[in-house]
Structure 1
Amino acid sequence: YCLEEKTEVKPIENEVLKEKQTNQNENVSITIQSEIHEDEPSTAVGTDDKKISAKNKKKAAAEKKAKGGVDAKTLSLMKEFQKKQEEAKLRALKDEEEKQRLDEEFQKQHEEKTRLDKERREKKKQKEKERIQRKKEEGSYLTKDQKEKLERARIQLEAAGIQVPARNTTQTIPNNKEQTVKKRVLYDDRRKKTQTNAKQVDNVERTTAASRVAKTPIGTEKKLSAKEEENLKDNWEQESEEETINAEEPESPSTENNRNNFQQTSSIPSTTTITNENNESSEGESSDEETSTDESDETSSSTDEDDNDQTTPMERVRRRLKRRHELCESRRSSEVLRAPVICVLGHVDTGKTKILDNLRRTHVQDGEAGGITQQIGATNVPLETLRERTKMCRKLITREGEYIVPGLLIIDTPGHESFKNLRSRGSSLCDLAILVVDLMHGLEQQTLESIKLIMDRKTPFIIALNKIDRLYNWKGDNKKNVELVLQEQGQNTQNEFDKRCNDIIVQFAEQGLNVALYYKNPDPNEFYSMIPTSAHTGDGMGSLISMIIEICQTTLAKRLSYTDELQATVMEVKAIGGLGTTIDVVLVNGHLRVGDTIIVAGQEGPIVTQVRGLLMPEPNRELRVRNQYQNYKTVKAARGIKVAAKDLEKSMAGLPLFVGRKNDETEYFKNEIQNILKTALSSIKLKENGVYVQASTLGSLEALLEFLKTSNIPYSGINIGPVHRKDIIRASTQLERDPQWAVVLAFDVRIEKDAQDHADTVGVKIFQDDIIYHLFDMFVAHRERVKKENQEKFRHLAVFPCKLRVLPQYIFNSRDPIICGVIIEDGIVKLGTPICVPSKEFIELGRIVSIELNHKPLDVARKGSEVCIKIDPVSGEAPKMFGRHFDENDLLMSKISREAIDIVKDHFRDDMQKSDWQLMIELKKIFNVL
């Protein structure tokens, strides 16, 4: 109770002293009485004396009891109580001294900071005075009256028709560019801007005003200098007052908070692990204040350099960010790690989702969530759960019993989407991948794609051999290390496991990868570890988590070291009732605060807005529960958070999020996002004919385009975000070229009503789905349907190439219609093919209306076949006769034209073979078709 209030210390001290004196007096009286009673029996002699002394003892004890004397037990309790009181007193005094020491230390730091600020301001004032003095000596300094006189002279010269450079419109800067100075709202230090503007104006006016200033009399110059010094003095006093106000305003309300934060951070040992979210947020605020002071010191030191710097604003921002990056990199430590971002990859139905559920380990029936905090788009596994799950296999971790990793951040999106969607300046945000392989099936198609994806990104990974519970006669035990569980299995089970495991090792070797079981791994740098697991029974999950922690704390320690430099990516854009449109962000490094100015990519350009709220779900609550979000003022990496802000309706997912600490940084990051998006979109090569592709994120767009490219489907236009009317207008241009490409493939996006109405009006098809394969199947079915419609529409105009020779022994009718047997020497014969005789001046015989073979009708006959054909004469012409107009020595050929060739190319290409195209080229030369 001495720790709670300072005012109670003195009264308690007095009470302690009084109790101590009374206890001493009682002790003295007790010792005197005991000595008296001890001396009495020693003087007695003989047995009678002993009896008398015994009686005296009893009598003395009775008298002592009647008087209310203290026994030995009570005395010991009193001494113990007295000792505790003394310890409490000493502890209170020690705490008071510690508090005074902290106050003094904080006061010293505050005074030192104030002194440095004062020195900086004095230095700035002295610099300005020297500049003005230097201009006076050069004769280029202009007072207010001189500037007004100069302006009047300029107006008179312009009225006379003489062109004079105007003031405050354009200034010549060292890189020979004209920069227009516009009046706009200033949010930062005005004095610095006005001083720099004054420098530029003076440089412009120096050439025009030097002669006039030189001609002014000395006396007037002295008078003006006296007046100017008076004005200068007033200005300096006013500026110093403004500086003191500006300096005191931010410090006064937060001084007590800073002192409290300082005391808290000083009194808490560095080895203590804080698990409460609120404590973590308060720690984040204090660390943010430290980083903000460091940034302010850095920026204040850089402003002096920027005053004398002649480079462009973007170059200055780039240098400032580079210095900030170097400062953050110098503070990195492998002893302070962030939570690693882990993605799960594998083939369909190998147990990816089941493994995630087991890692989360939600005990819904017990009313608890197993200490897991469900986060937006991600699952945060805290340190307590890691310790609980790995207690049976601590020896796998090099630092046995010591965990540096604060937790795990597992992304709850499909593996492909994690890699494609999580883009941060060209690199994946995934730190470690778990490749799930079905022990029963080995490597499958999507597993191979996942391996290629991992190797392209150069992401470290471990292999989970899942479904070991499917082995014959498997006896699971999730309380033990999976190595011991395997040793306890029957011989048949072990033999089956070894056989299937060796087959998978061979399959990995075929892909150029060395793998081994984690307890048989000779060299982790050359062999990837395989951990046998069962997501159903939980066997091997502890070993899997232990291997993840071991890799993170050894191999990936440098990559996972925490830095204050912001690294965040927008995962998804969602609309939530009561909050409006929000963005789900994975914060990998750095921190975000309410009020920060963020820059994200938008459909119509970069979006600049302020953070209104940072939301994360409550601990031990599911995402489906309403009102599950808690507000935080500051969030420190690595986390999955929901950011609420204005104007996020048209924001795009899959691109980084930036925070602008200053106005010029905001402009710089806007250009940066534009360049990232422009580079990504410009790398996509469009074609004149093709489908129009729309996706929700840049990553999913790239995945869909890659799939279309491998499927030989061209694309003529792309966009990100919902389908609007303008997208339908762009896609409708394909109706004039080829209607089969007048299609919009909408992947995981919504379709606006006006877009759907316009598509129905003009005839553009919209296919919408959340799965790439379904979109592909829908488009292929549409293309087949359009192809059949076009073939039926243009079948009577299509002419296929063929060469026929008449068999004279099979002339059944020589005229109107001609019915004869022929052998197909080359090409393809179809119904409706026009036949002519090139050797007889291209006499046209008519069209084939029937084809028979062994009295069975045919639609198509190919090279080498002997068939009977029926040729109807051309309407309006005299029928041709076999033996008069042609005979068996003449070759019959199909009569082709430019139109017929184009129709075959466009709609009947699949019916043609390579030899048919060669014959088509030969016939083009015969019939002189261009």
Structure 2
Amino acid sequence: MRSRGMSLCDIAVVVVDIMHGLEKQTVETLALLKDRNVRFIVVLNKVDRLCGWKHCPDAPIKKALENQSGDVKREFGWRLTKVVTQLKENGFNTALYYDNQKFRKVFDIVPTSAISGEGIPDLLLMLVLRSQATMMEKLTFVNTVECTVLEVNDDKDLGTTIDVVLINGVLHKGDQVNVCTKQGPVTTTIRDLLTPHPLKELRVKGIYKHHKELKAAQGVKIVARGLKYAIPGTSLVVVKPGDDLGQSEAKSQRNENEEGNVIQEISRLKTCKEGVYVQASTFGILEAIIEHLNSPGVNVPVSGCNLGPIEKKDVMKASAMLKRKEEYAAILAFNVRVMPEADVLASESGVKIVTADTVYKLVDSFNEHIKRSKELKKMQCAANAVFPCTLKILPNRVYRKKDPFLCDVEVLEGVVKVGTPICVYVGGTVHGLGRISSMQTSNGNQIDSAKRGVVVSVKITGESPKEKTWLYGRHFDESNELISQISRRSIDVLKEYYRDEMNDENWQLIRRLKKLLDIA
């Protein structure tokens, strides 16, 4: 998205945090600006965070610096030097704008505070001056329409609309235009041209101004039929009266090439075999979401992605995770419409569609979904979660010798819980006794679990006819150790859902019991 944005950019503003210097994404952006030979101004923001900074609201930065103490000026100086050095390492000569005598070779740095407004007048002044000095030829108006699609949006009143940047030429209500879509070039008629009211963003929903014609350069919302599958980043071509279909298709050839570029850009996004499916309205948003999901603090894998409304094919792709990792069978949808048939299929197949109005809320909602899914899965697998334990039968404290077997035991290792299957190791062979149906302390209180060193009374109830036939004193006695009857399945469940309840001693006991019970 940054790459396509540079193609529309005549002059750029690169914002750098004075407290952190150049970040990785800033270096990447600078490289793109350099490749496309785009002039830029470096905004050294957050000067108000310098220790001891005295606020001078909306003042020119030079005047604001004059009012600071010596310590603040020194800190500003060395932080400025650090940023200038980093920029020079990336091939850019920079200087404070009021010290810059060679602005065609040296890029301007404007210190600012977005909070209190220091330096903002300087930034506006430099944008005007540098634009006039370097862009005179570029700013010459021509009649040939040059228009790029930025976003595709669904509006409950207007239907599917596209937000475009009209770089050159004039658009009229009723013009025939050719739009590049996922299904190929589509010719449609402009039903309405909309712009926001002054000081309002085009993306903010609200009341728009209606126009019969609009002249470059500005952002425009276009209402027309057939825009559902329009591809952001492609060009919009006006079909002039008298143009035949062949000419229109020839003009759309560039769009087809751009469509391929967009698809290639999507395919280059970082994905893996197991992960969520991401859907967004524009490539830029899609790129930002995936980058955020792949960041170390979030670490949510992405298996696939797409642009535009969520359709049945997207749900089918996301449903592939049901057989691999069920909690990742989800679509993170941002600023896109969910088609009715896709919503029905998602409900039937078990694919979760997560929507939110910000990327952070989207991730939070997904994490909450993961948490609920794991808790539900944990409850479903609770019967298979057999914790490791070894028990010693206390002599002369056996109260019932046959099924159900009732005695006092000491927990030698691990943790014993109600429902744990118990077996006894006799003569080199393991024999099942049943499950612990209840436990209580010496004072008669019923408990659900007991850890190492605790003495409890246990009631072991046989589940199979063979288990019910075993008698204390005939088949086994206090010299035989009781152990939990773990299995490959129970170990996998503990690893997946109960890892936080296990410690190193428990894992060591599992390794010993695996050998004893001959578990692979």
Aligned pair partner of 1:682 in 246, 263, 267 = 267
Going from structure 1 to structure 2, the CA distance change for 1:483 and 1:426 (only over 3 Å counts) comes to closer
Distance 1:469 1:763, change over 3 A: closer
Which among 487, 490, 499 is matched to residue 900 of structure 1?
490
Q: Percentage identity across aligned positions?
A: 27
For 2:149, what is the secondary structure of its paired residue? strand
Shift of 1:450: 5.6
Paired position in structure 2 for 1:545 = 124
What letter corresponds to residue 112 of structure 2 in structure 1? P
Give the conservation status (yes or no) of the 8 Å contact 1:852–1:867: no
Which of residues 571, 583, 606 in structure 1 aligns to 2:150?
571
SS at match of 2:372: helix
Distance change >3 Å, CA 927–CA 455, structure 1 → 2: farther
Of structures 1 and 2, the one scoring higher in RCO (CA 8 A, sep 6+) is: 2
C-alpha separation in 1, matches of 2:342 and 2:98: 59
CA RMSD, Structure 1 to Structure 2 (Å): 4.9
Q: Cα gap change, 1:912/1:563 in structure 2, threshold over 3 Å: closer, same or farther?
A: farther
Maintained 8 Å contact 1:704/1:772: yes
In the alignment, the residues of structure 1 paired with residue 233 and residue 417 of structure 2 have an alpha-carbon distance, to the nearest angstrom, of 54
Q: Which residue pairs with 1:697 in the alignment?
A: 282
Cα gap change, 1:697 to 1:645, in 2 (>3 Å): same
In the other structure, the counterpart of 1:95 is: none
Q: CA deviation at 1:747?
A: 0.9
Aligned to 1:649: 228
Q: For the structure 1 residues 810 and 848, does the alpha-carbon distance in structure 2 shift closer, same or farther, using more than 3 Å as the test?
A: farther
For 2:385, the aligned partner's letter is A
**Aligned pair 1:836/2:414, yes or no?**
no
CA-CA distance at 1:695 after TM superposition: 1.4
Match of 1:607 among 167, 179, 185: 185
Contact between 1:652 and 1:696, CA under 8 Å: does it hold in 2? Answer: no
Supply the distance in 1 between the matched residues of 2:299 and 2:396 (Cα, whole angstroms).
Answer: 48
C-alpha separation between the residues in 1 aligned to 2:417 and 2:106?
Answer: 64
Structure 2 counterpart of 1:463, which letter? V
Q: C-alpha distance in 2, partners of 1:461/1:477?
A: 19
The one of 317, 324, 337 aligned to 1:750: 337
How big is the shift at 1:607?
2.9
Does structure 2 conserve the Cα–Cα contact (< 8 Å) formed by 1:599 and 1:606?
no
**1:655 Cα offset (Å):** 4.2
Q: Distance in 2 between matches of 1:812 and 1:559?
A: 100
| Offset of residue 474 of structure 1 | 4.6
Aligned residue number for residue 257 of structure 2: 672
Amino acid at match of 1:885: F
- How many residue pairs end up in the alignment? 486
Pairing of 1:445-484 with structure 2 (within 5 A): 448=23, 451=26, 454-455=29-30, 457-458=32-33, 460-466=40-46, 474=55, 478=59, 481-484=60-63
Show the counterpart of 1:797.
384
Greater strand percent: which structure?
2
Structure 2 residue 473 is the aligned partner of structure 1 residue 878: no
In the alignment, is the contact (CA less than 8 A) between 2:14 and 2:41 conserved in 1?
yes
The secondary structure found in structure 2 opposite 1:866 is: coil
TM-superposed deviation, 1:878: 2.6
Following the alignment from structure 1 to structure 2, what is the Cα–Cα distance between the partners of residues 854 and 552? 86
Mapping of residues 118-517 of structure 1, within 5 Å? 420=1, 424=4, 429=9, 431-435=11-15, 437=17, 442-443=19-20, 448=23, 451=26, 454-455=29-30, 457-458=32-33, 460-466=40-46, 474=55, 478=59, 481-484=60-63, 486-487=65-66, 489=67, 493-495=68-70, 497-498=72-73, 501=76, 504-505=79-80, 517=96
Structure 1 CA distance for aligned equivalents of residues 274 and 156 of structure 2: 42
Task: Classify the secondary structure of the residue corresponding to 1:788.
Answer: helix
Say whether the 8 Å CA contact 2:233–2:262 is kept in structure 1.
no
Over residues 521-577 of structure 1, what are the superposed CA-to-partner deviations in whole Å (9 max), with x where a residue is unaligned?
7998788724235665x65333212333555567x7699687989875311235689
* Equivalent residue letter for 1:432: A
CA contact (8 A) 1:811 1:821 kept: no
CA deviations 1:702-747 (Å, max 9, x no partner) are 2222323333334444332223455445545655665533433221
Match of 2:162 in 1: 583
Which protein has the larger Cα radius of gyration, Structure 1 or Structure 2?
Answer: 1
Match of 1:846 in 2: 434
| Stretches of structure 2 lacking an aligned partner (at least 5 in a row) | 35-39, 240-245
How far the C-alpha of 1:842 sits from its partner, in A, is: 0.6
Between the aligned partners of 1:512 and 1:851, the Cα distance in structure 2 is 70
> How far apart, in 1, do the equivalents of 2:119 and 2:474 lie?
90
Counterparts in 2 of 1:894 and 1:522: CA distance versus 1, 3 Å: farther
Q: Is the 2:275–2:301 contact (alpha carbons within 8 Å) kept by the matching residues of 1?
A: yes
| CA-CA distance at 1:918 after TM superposition | 6.4
User: What's the offset of the Cα at 1:758?
Assistant: 5.0
Q: Residues 838 and 662 of structure 1: is their aligned pair in 2 closer, same or farther, counting only changes over 3 Å?
A: farther
Q: Provide closer, same or farther for how the CA distance between residues 655 and 903 of structure 1 changes in structure 2, counting only shifts above 3 A.
A: farther
2:308 — aligned with what? 721
Instruction: Give how far 1:774 is off.
Output: 0.7
Q: Secondary structure at the match of 1:900?
A: helix
Whether the aligned pair in 2 keeps the contact of 1:831 and 1:848 (CA below 8 Å) is yes
- With over 3 angstroms needed to count, the CA separation of the structure-2 counterparts of 1:853 and 1:518, relative to structure 1, is farther
- Matched residue, 1:245: none
Per the normalisation by structure 2, the TM-score is 0.72
Q: Given the alignment of the two structures, is residue 781 of structure 1 paired with residue 368 of structure 2, yes or no?
A: yes
**1:751 positional shift:** 3.0
Alpha-carbon offset, residue 771 of structure 1: 0.6
Over 3 Å counting, the alpha-carbon distance change for 1:860 and 1:578 in structure 2 is: closer
Q: Do the aligned partners of 1:848 and 1:871 also contact (CA within 8 Å) in 2?
A: yes
**Paired residues of 2:145 and 2:169 also in contact (CA < 8 A):** yes
Aligned to 1:868: 455
Aligned pair 1:740/2:330, yes or no?
no
Change (3 A) 1:558 1:850: farther
Change (3 A) 1:899 1:463: same
* Residues 162 and 221 in structure 2, CA contact (< 8 A), matched pair in contact too: yes
The residue type paired with residue 485 of structure 2 is K
**Residues 1:620 and 1:829: Cα distance change in structure 2 (over 3 Å):** closer
Unaligned runs of 5+ residues in structure 1 are 1-419
2:400 is equivalent to residue 818 of structure 1: no
2:355 aligned residue (757, 768, 771): 768
Please name the residue that 2:392 is paired with: 806
TM-score normalised over the length of structure 1: 0.44
The alignment partner of 2:384 has SS state of coil
Cα 1:929/1:616, change in 2 over 3 Å: same
Give the counterpart letter for 2:187 in structure 1: T
Q: Deviations over 1:260-286 (max 9, x none)?
A: xxxxxxxxxxxxxxxxxxxxxxxxxxx
Secondary structure, aligned partner of 1:432: strand
**1:416-452, CA deviations, whole angstroms, 9 ceiling, x for partnerless residues?**
xxxx4x6529967474124165x8xx449xx957636
Query: Cα 1:477–1:662, aligned 2, differ >3 Å: closer, same or farther?
Result: closer
The code of the aligned residue for 1:820 comes to: V
Q: How many angstroms apart in 2 are the aligned matches of 1:925 and 1:770?
A: 53
Q: What CA distance in whole angstroms lies between the structure 2 residues aligned with 1:675 and 1:586?
A: 21
